[in-house]
Amino acid sequence: MPNAAIQSIAMSVAERVMTNEEFEKIVETSDEWIQTRTGIKERRVAEPGQSSSYFGAIAAADALKRAGVNPEDVDMVICATVTGDHLFPGTACLIQERIGAKNAGAFDVGAACAGFIYAAEVASSMIRNGTIRNAVVVGVDTLTHFVDWSDRSTCVLFGDGGGAAYMEATEEDRGIVATVMLSDGSGAKHIKIEKGGSLYPPSRPQSEGKCSTLYMAGKEVFRFAVRAMADSCHKVLEKAGLTADDVTLFCPHQANLRIITAAAEHLGLPMERVFVNVQKYGNMGAGSIPVALYEAEAEGALKKGDLVMTVGFGAGLVWGANLIRW
Ligand code: UT7
């Protein structure tokens, strides 16, 4: 069986920078509160019309360019997102069309902030079993289109953008070494956008009074996140027969610096081996892990042959981790 290596990675985030100071003018908050509780200093905010496929396609096209691959040679486009352009068609199809991947299949993966973990494993499994030769795996979200800008407990947390990885079959000792994917639907109530799906469709009587903006029970999600990070990291290391000492770089979902440091502490990983960029982007949902991987590589923190551990958690509830030989 071949391995499925990440041959290239790219990112695309919204251009507009929104600082904590700007929030002081629209809700009762402060730069000090946001920084101490979350680690976020600024985030990127998409313009109206800049949807998830917009950033996803830019990143996907760039990943292919970096790998020197013709879009017509791509077998599959997978997009991890919960903020797709539409309920349907899938955002992966819109990306497939924009990048000119004429001969590829395309589908979305909805696993919230763990979406890239799930999508990378799906691509890897399909490549390894021979169903496809290669895939473009996108993780992208534009959550600011869905926040309630008057709710200080959520509007300061999110940013827009994502990244894309080009994965292909290789005989080299690279690619996903082990993955764990977990869920607990009893926690579905803790992060959600209630209206707009088939239970509460827009403009239907049963949807009256239901919320079409993002709701999050912050404290519950915080407690879950700390547990989920530790749980999935331990499980994925155990599955691979490795320990935290073998990990070159820990690249977690970027939701909150306190969650990241708690997880690193729990794993006994010094912060020099933990990649953090939440201060620049806030929480970009499924986009945060590929953007972190891209920046880690660009900064020289992640090199070919290194062992990187990614971990994500989010609405569902879902969580999971990949161990990747870069
Ligand atoms: O990717 C999806 C996963 N999502 C997450 O990982 C988010 C997980 N949760 C969190 O990161 C944290 O729970 C938050 C950052 C959302 C909140 O931090 P916290 O330390 O749990 O604060 P809290 O919710 O307990 O709120 C403490 C106080 C409250 O005031 P009272 O009731 O003590 O008077 C809030 O109303 O802080 C208040 N507050 C704010 N104050 C200033 C909440 N948001 C703000 C704000 N500015 N933006």
Indicate whether 261 and 202 sit together in one domain.
yes
pLDDT of residue 293: 98
Q: Answer yes or no: are the C-beta atoms of 288 and 113 closer than 8 Å.
A: yes
pLDDT of residue 47: 98
Selected catalytic residue, list 3, 20, 256, 283: 283
pLDDT tens track, the chain, 326 positions: 899 999 999 999 999 999 999 999 999 999 999 999 999 999 999 999 999 999 999 999 999 999 999 999 999 999 999 999 999 999 999 999 999 999 999 999 999 999 999 999 999 999 999 999 999 999 999 999 999 999 999 999 999 999 999 999 999 999 999 999 999 999 999 999 999 999 999 999 999 999 999 999 999 999 999 999 999 999 999 999 999 999 999 999 999 999 999 999 999 999 999 999 999 999 999 999 999 999 999 999 999 999 999 999 999 999 999 999 99
Instruction: Output the residue whose Cα is nearest ligand 1's atom 5.
Output: 255
Indicate whether 191 and 291 sit together in one domain.
yes
Instruction: Output the residue whose Cα is nearest ligand 1's atom 47.
Output: 29
Q: 274 - beta bridge partners?
A: 250
Indicate whether 217 and 155 sit together in one domain.
no
204-261 pLDDT, tens digit each = 999 999 999 999 999 999 999 999 999 999 999 999 999 999 999 999 999 999 999 9
Indicate whether 292 and 209 sit together in one domain.
yes
The single-letter DSSP state of residue 46 is: P
- The CA 182 to ligand 1 mean position distance, Å, reads 25
Indicate whether 141 and 198 sit together in one domain.
no
Distances in Å between the alpha carbon of 287 and those of 30, 114, 218, 262? 26, 10, 20, 22
Q: How far apart are alpha carbons 41 and 34 in whole angstroms?
A: 7
pLDDT of residue 168: 98
Q: Answer yes or no: are the C-beta atoms of 175 and 325 closer than 8 Å.
A: yes
- The CA 22 to ligand 1 mean position distance, Å, reads 18
Ligand 1: residues whose CB is within 6 Å? 29, 33-34, 37-38, 113, 152-153, 156, 191, 218-219, 221-222, 225, 255-256, 259, 283, 314
Q: Per the structure, how many domains does the chain have?
A: 2
pLDDT of residue 258: 97
- Cβ-proximal residues to 141 (8 Å cutoff; 6+ apart), any chain: 52, 81, 82, 83, 115, 160, 162, 284, 285, 286, 287
Indicate whether 126 and 203 sit together in one domain.
no
Helix (H) or strand (E) holding 231: helix 218-240
Instruction: Output the residue whose Cα is nearest ligand 1's atom 23.
Output: 219
Q: Show the CA angle centred on residue 90, arms to residues 104 and 295, nearest 5°.
A: 75
CATH number at residue 274: 3.40.47.10
Indicate whether 13 and 158 sit together in one domain.
yes
Q: Encoding tokens for residue 266?
A: 């729990």
- Cβ-proximal residues to 204 (8 Å cutoff; 6+ apart), any chain: none
Choose one of 116, 146, 172: the last residue of a domain: 172
pLDDT of residue 39: 98
Q: Answer yes or no: are the C-beta atoms of 286 and 160 closer than 8 Å.
A: no
- The CA 218 to ligand 1 mean position distance, Å, reads 6
Indicate whether 213 and 285 sit together in one domain.
yes
Choose one of 153, 172, 191: the last residue of a domain: 172
What range defines the domain where residue 99 resides?
3-172
Indicate whether 52 and 164 sit together in one domain.
yes
Q: Is the bond preceding residue 89 a cis peptide, omega within 30 degrees?
A: yes
Q: Encoding tokens for residue 27?
A: 């809700």
Indicate whether 156 and 25 sit together in one domain.
yes
Fill in the amino acid letter for 81: T
Selected catalytic residue, list 251, 253, 277, 322: 253
Q: 76 - beta bridge partners?
A: 105
Q: Nearest CA to 292 among 8, 39, 46, 10? A: 10
- The CA 158 to ligand 1 mean position distance, Å, reads 13
pLDDT of residue 56: 98
Q: Answer yes or no: are the C-beta atoms of 16 and 149 closer than 8 Å.
A: no
179-206 pLDDT, tens digit each = 999 999 999 999 999 999 999 999 999 9
The residue to mutate among 153, 226, 311, 319, having the most atoms of ligand 1 within 8 angstroms of its beta carbon, is 153
Looking from the CA of residue 29, the nearest atom of ligand 1 is 47
Choose one of 172, 191, 219: the last residue of a domain: 172
Indicate whether 214 and 300 sit together in one domain.
yes
- The CA 34 to ligand 1 mean position distance, Å, reads 9
Instruction: Output the residue whose Cα is nearest ligand 1's atom 21.
Output: 219
pLDDT of residue 80: 98
Indicate whether 161 and 44 sit together in one domain.
yes
pLDDT of residue 63: 98
Q: Kindly tell me the burial class for residue 48, based on how many C-beta atoms sit within 10 Å of its own C-beta (0-12, 13-18, 19 or more).
A: exposed
Looking from the CA of residue 152, the nearest atom of ligand 1 is 48
Examine the residue annotation and report whether 253 is marked as an active-site residue of this protein. Answer: yes
* Residue 209: strand, helix, or coil: coil
Instruction: Output the residue whose Cα is nearest ligand 1's atom 3.
Output: 314
Selected catalytic residue, list 20, 79, 93, 113: 113
- The CA 257 to ligand 1 mean position distance, Å, reads 13
H helices present in 80-160, as ranges: 91-99, 115-128, 152-155
pLDDT of residue 77: 98
